[in-house]
Amino acid sequence: MAFIPREVKFYALFREQASNIHKAAQLLVDLFENYQDVEKRVAEIKFAEHKGDQLTHELMMKLNQTFITPFDREDIHSLGSALDDVMDLVEAAATRFVTYKVKAVTPGARQLAKVILHGTEILNKAISELEKPHQILEYCEQIQQIEEEADRIKGECVGRLFEDSGNPIEIIKWKEIYEVLEATTDKCSDVADVLEAVVLKAA
C-alpha cells in the first residue's frame, strides 16, 4: 500500500488559488481607487494571473499522478478550472484599461470591483473550510447573492451609459468593461456551484 499515492495537498493548492485570486481582486480595487501608474499595476495583476496558471497546472498534474483523491476527481478538476476562470477574468478586466487607454475610472466600475473583491473574500473563506465544510453552503448562498448584485449594478451602469454618452466608441468600450467585470462574479458563482456539489455528495 506504500506505493499508492495518498495526496492531501489538493486542499493547500485550492487555498493558494483562492488567496491569489483575492489578492488580484484587491489589486484591481486599488487600481480603480487610485488610477495612476496603470500599466505597472496592471502588470502586477498579470503576474498574479500567471501564478494562478502555475497553480492550476500543478493541481492538474497532481490530479493525474494521484490514485486516491480527497473527493471526486471530476469535482477537483471542475473546482480548479472554475477558480482559474475567476482569475482569468480579473486579469482580463484590468487589461482592458490598458488596451482601451481608459483615462478615468467610472463610479460603476469601482462599485463592480468592490463587489468582485467581496465575492473573492467569501470564496477564500469557503475554500479554507473545504476539509471541514460546516459553513460552505452558507458561503455559496452569499456568493449567489453577490452575483445578483453585480448583475443589477451592471444593468444600471449600461443604462446610464446609453443615456449619458453620445460617443458610440465610449459606449462599446465601457459596455464591454462592465460585462467583463460582471462576468467575474458569474465565475465566482460557478465556483460556488462546484463547492455545493462537493458538500452535498459528502453529506
Per-residue pLDDT tens over the stretch 141-170: 999 999 999 999 999 999 998 887 778 999
**Burial class (CB within 10 angstroms; exposed 0-12, middle 13-18, buried 19+) of 30:** middle
Map out the domains of the chain with their CATH numbers: 9-202 (1.20.58.220)
pLDDT over 90, % of the chain: 82
pLDDT given at position 4: 45
Task: Determine contact, residues 107/94, Cβ cutoff 8 Å.
Answer: no
Alpha helices in the chain (DSSP H): 9-33, 38-65, 73-99, 107-128, 136-164, 168-202
Above 60 in pLDDT, residue 2?
Answer: no
Task: Determine contact, residues 135/129, Cβ cutoff 8 Å.
Answer: yes
Whole-model pTM over 0.85: yes
How far, in Å, CA of 103 to CA of 9, rounded? 44
Task: Determine contact, residues 75/2, Cβ cutoff 8 Å.
Answer: no
pLDDT given at position 202: 76
3-state secondary structure 27-54: HHHHHHHCCCCHHHHHHHHHHHHHHHHH
With DSSP H G I counted as helix, E B as strand and the rest as coil, what are the percentages for the chain, rounded to 5? 80, 0, 15
What are the residues whose beta carbons fall under 8 Å from the beta carbon of 26, sequence distance 6 or more?
117
How far, in Å, CA of 142 to CA of 64, rounded? 33
Alpha-carbon torsion (10, 23, 50, 179), positive or negative: positive
Alpha-carbon torsion (51, 79, 123, 181), positive or negative: positive
Q: What's 135's DSSP letter? A: S
> Partners of 6 in the beta sheet?
68
pLDDT given at position 87: 98
67-119: pLDDT as tens digits:
888 889 999 999 999 999 999 999 999 999 999 999 999 999 999 999 999 99
The rounded radius of gyration (Å) of the Cα atoms in the chain is 18
Cα angle for residues 145, 151, 155 (degrees, 5° grid) = 145
